[in-house]
Structure 1
């Protein structure tokens, strides 16, 4: 079936599912394939659960007119999403970066929603499947789309741009992450730059003018800069993060404006400033920007301050790489409180640099005189030689100890890659 015909059906039945467990009446099931499954085999089940159509790419499964046969289901999903994006004709802001892209996406969305009916990427649906599903979840009421784009291999941001066709873009930063896929830090920069390349003649880039890496990646293109330097199009000043981030805006009309967020860590200043800058560019009142950022509460184990019965947790256990881990440790070390404990999990997907990067983090912990440290994972266990730093291969091993030896009156930083599952420790603390 041609994409025009598929889109015509989608207009009649505008709900897409890729999992039979989420099948709803009058939806369209896309039989995607994975390393260990073939969605075509579940197409019949999807129809039995109420889906109107099932899109398949193996002729043997196309039993009747309820099945739509295409050459490649994934490509059909992506092409359908692009067709829908073009039909809506709304502005799309794409956000990528090594760290902070999800938080920046949430902050930008909450600011833009003060003026527009927005739709933003849900959770971290930011890959070659998630981006199409995000676009297909927008409807005629949507006035502005905010699309997060993730990547762990070269060419992926380019592909996502060709699907979403953004008008605006932000790269939050570039750092060491997914080095197995990118090969090097230069590989990270080249891949993230694909967003700038796409927007070179098609849109506007919001960029931190004080980030030398980002500025060097720009083409000859239209930008809107933010930072604290005099030449920035949008300026704000970092005041403190002890522990919550506070920043200052200045305006000729209202003078100084203080924004007291619920975000922990000075490293979130750039994320908040990006959202402020987008709001200013789109003429959102600064008082509304203030309300939006102050009311935003982080969730999903990202930049959360969580007070338990016994301790105060600085919970940032959704993801980790050398860049984000370093700024988190530095920020925590500089906080003016005593009785600190650091719990760090392995940083995954670092390839041949893995042991070196973990050793550098151990060196940083020593340099910052953070003496009470628990390290979790195979890599930390292998490289750690500091006697006072306790290591555990599995999170469950540390959880068992914490259940027996209850900690009280500690300030605890918890950070590691999602695969280490450090969030399992929260109810033990």
Structure 2
């Protein structure tokens, strides 16, 4: 990134600046967390649970050379008068709006195909697989991690240069209208829609609202765009009525244009399957784990075929993915293997992760935490996970108040080895050689601490 000060000052009333900065300042990155500020960064001071204005001095100590803020704080000892010219203090009404405006202007100045990836689960993996495939032939910008909201997406988009040939951006939402707003910034020309389920149901209010929100990107696409939709998901299929552009369906059912057949599970080594498309079929192998791994591979293939990629390029890209999935096997204590999926949890992703346990020949252990933000679906979702756990696991730990329903339903379904813990600190489990241990729960349950205990000194 090279963001000159005069561009960063877009629309700013310079009379509000506390002092004149050096006009030659050029920012090389953007950070909204002072701990992540690198030398040359522009820090965005956001007022949230913690007020970003309180961390402006920390950002400067870490190398930031400017800030976008709503107000001027006491410059005091952290910014002596003799050093102020080298640190741009930009004052605006709303730092997030300003960041979004910079990103929108930047995107508008670059003629490039932008792919937006949306869905209740599987967005990050779909984005990463698509990027891996397109990189066989193209220079691709892919949003890092889960930079998918009103702050992360603009930061990712500002990394775009005229050297890039495609951009693949993940888009998330908690309310209707948020994906539409991200589309106004990123101006996608194509979209991948993964699944629609009750993730963030608490904030959306209803599954119908979630469906409408995911469809905002489909409605946005121009007539010359392309919608790549999961044809196995009934709610995703309904989004076709909102499209003005061509649609490519992907999935395992006969109704799909890009279809997987002859799916062969290879345990922790991944999945092999045949991709069928209008001009033929070919076999691929991916290191991604679980039957659900075929879906991001299919959506990536659909995107690549739209760019006239060969079967060989698609297969090579799918094989090269590496450990992009959050469902990552790690060597555990006493000869066990830990499936680290502690980052987040939703009903669809929990079911898919549990299915990975089903084919394991040794003892199968599921450590499942609360699934948060499910609203009125909370009880049914946890009980559904309990039934699936009873069918796929030999041992179950239910962690948290909500997860008690997982354990209770698993016991009702015939699973005998069910244990309960109020939080991650209460889990007392000794892994054995040959165990496959799935650890999954919402981020607020902090089950990554369990993972670290299970893999330490392995």
- Please state which band the TM-score falls in when normalised by the shorter chain: 0.7 to 0.9
Kept after mapping to 2: 8 A contact 1:41/1:61? no
d(CA) in 2 for partners of 1:52, 1:44: 11
d(CA) in 2 for partners of 1:148, 1:369: 31
Q: Structure 1 residue 374 and structure 2 residue 397: aligned?
A: yes
Query: Which residue does the alignment assign to 2:419?
Result: 390
Q: Structure 1 residue 248 and structure 2 residue 277: aligned?
A: no
Q: Deviations over 1:69-108 (max 9, x none)?
A: 2221110001101111111221110001011111011000
d(CA) in 1 for partners of 2:449, 2:31: 30
Superposition map of 1:5-404 within 5 A = 5-6=9-10, 12-37=26-51, 39-43=52-56, 46-47=59-60, 50-58=63-71, 66-199=88-221, 201=223, 203-218=225-240, 219-221=242-244, 222-228=246-252, 232-243=256-267, 244-250=270-276, 257-299=282-324, 302-308=326-332, 310-333=335-358, 335=359, 337-366=361-390, 368=391, 370-381=393-404, 384-385=407-408, 386=411, 388-398=417-427, 401-402=428-429
SS of the residue corresponding to residue 264 of structure 1 reads coil
d(CA) in 2 for partners of 1:225, 1:347: 30
d(CA) in 1 for partners of 2:255, 2:363: 42
Give the superposition deviation at 1:200.
5.2
Unaligned runs of 5+ in 1: none
- Cα 1:52–1:360, aligned 2, differ >3 Å: closer, same or farther? closer
Q: Which moved more, 1:99-108 or 1:207-216?
A: 207-216
Give the superposition deviation at 1:20.
3.1
d(CA) in 1 for partners of 2:288, 2:55: 42
d(CA) in 2 for partners of 1:265, 1:412: 15
Query: Which residue does the alignment assign to 2:78?
Result: none
d(CA) in 1 for partners of 2:74, 2:205: 40
Kept after mapping to 2: 8 A contact 1:131/1:160? yes
Query: TM-score if structure 1 supplies the norm length?
Result: 0.88
d(CA) in 2 for partners of 1:270, 1:200: 25
Q: Deviations over 1:246-294 (max 9, x none)?
A: 11135799x7532111111101111111111111111122212211111
Kept after mapping to 2: 8 A contact 1:234/1:280? no
Query: Which residue does the alignment assign to 2:454?
Result: 428
Unaligned runs of 5+ in 2: 13-22, 76-80
d(CA) in 1 for partners of 2:362, 2:431: 18
Q: Deviations over 1:219-244 (max 9, x none)?
A: 24221222345564433325122422
Superposition CA RMSD, Å: 2.9
d(CA) in 2 for partners of 1:311, 1:406: 6
Give the superposition deviation at 1:391.
0.8
- Cα 1:58–1:418, aligned 2, differ >3 Å: closer, same or farther? same
Give the superposition deviation at 1:57.
2.0
d(CA) in 1 for partners of 2:323, 2:123: 13
- Cα 1:19–1:165, aligned 2, differ >3 Å: closer, same or farther? same
Query: TM-score if structure 2 supplies the norm length?
Result: 0.83
